[in-house]
Amino acid sequence: MIDQAVELIRKSSYSIALTGAGISTPSGIPDFRSHESGLWNNADAMQVASLSGFRYNPLGFYTWIRPFADLIKNALPNPAHFALATLEDLGMLQAVITQNIDMLHVDAGNRNVYEVHGHLRQMTCINCFKEYDSEPILKKFFENKEIEVPRCPACGGALKPNVILFGEQLPMQVFIKAQQAVRHADLVLVAGSSLEVHPVADFPVQVRRQGGRVIIVNNERTVQDDIANVVIRGDVAEILPAIVDKLASE
């Protein structure tokens, strides 16, 4: 299967990667959508992780998200992230489309990254819409033992991280660029995504319909395995470096 994936990537003229939570679990970040992560235990998603819920009770959001955000703060890219960065350096990967908010693709060295579910680099006031760099604000947030809602220095409104909550539109400019990459792609490498979250989950189907190839690397079966040209079951932190090592040695 690895040799088949290598052959498809080598023959591709415009390859993209689509990544989900599974590429970051080797970095210690759990899939926050799964009940095993603990984030959904005793929590109503629409109350704590929706835009309307945030506006009504921002403290509830920050209380819920703090353990997950703390994991992201301390996480480092793993071999799967570095493999995709190397693939881009080799000229064999034109873009990374990620559903993750952890920014690890950028940290690993990928330059053309579309974070379609947002990121934690900036925060925006929900009242006056002023935007701020997150680092000093979150540093203070984590230093405080008692959880407090970060407030806008200009108007005192609650600051929301630039991540996409339920009921919120995707960042349109980023999503349009991701769509453009998909339209150009003749191969998509899916890594660590269950392909259950739309509209991003439609991308591999689109690539297949326009005559492209689909490679899926995931620990578990996905709903799109049947349309893939190559399916590899295993740890992305092992499989992706193995693929890239073969490509780099040729």
CA nearest to 165, candidates 69, 45, 81, 43: 45
Cα angle 136, 139, 143; round to 5? 145
- Rounded to whole angstroms, the Cα distance separating 50 from 28 reads 25
Q: Quick one: tokens of 218?
A: 């995931």
Q: Which of 81, 105, 117, 119 is catalytic?
A: 117
Could you give the C-alpha distances from 226 to 17, 153, 157, 229, in angstroms and in order?
Answer: 18, 52, 48, 8
Smallest Cα–Cα separation from 209: which of 234, 185, 238, 192? 185
Helix, strand and coil in the chain, % to nearest 5: 45, 20, 35
Q: Active-site residue 81, yes or no?
A: no
Tokens describing residue 147: 């959880």
Is there a contact between 218 and 189 (Cβ–Cβ < 8 Å)? Answer: no
Sign (positive or negative) of CA dihedral 191, 105, 213, 184: positive
Q: CA 220, CA 214: separation in Å to the nearest integer? A: 16
Kindly list the catalytic residues.
117
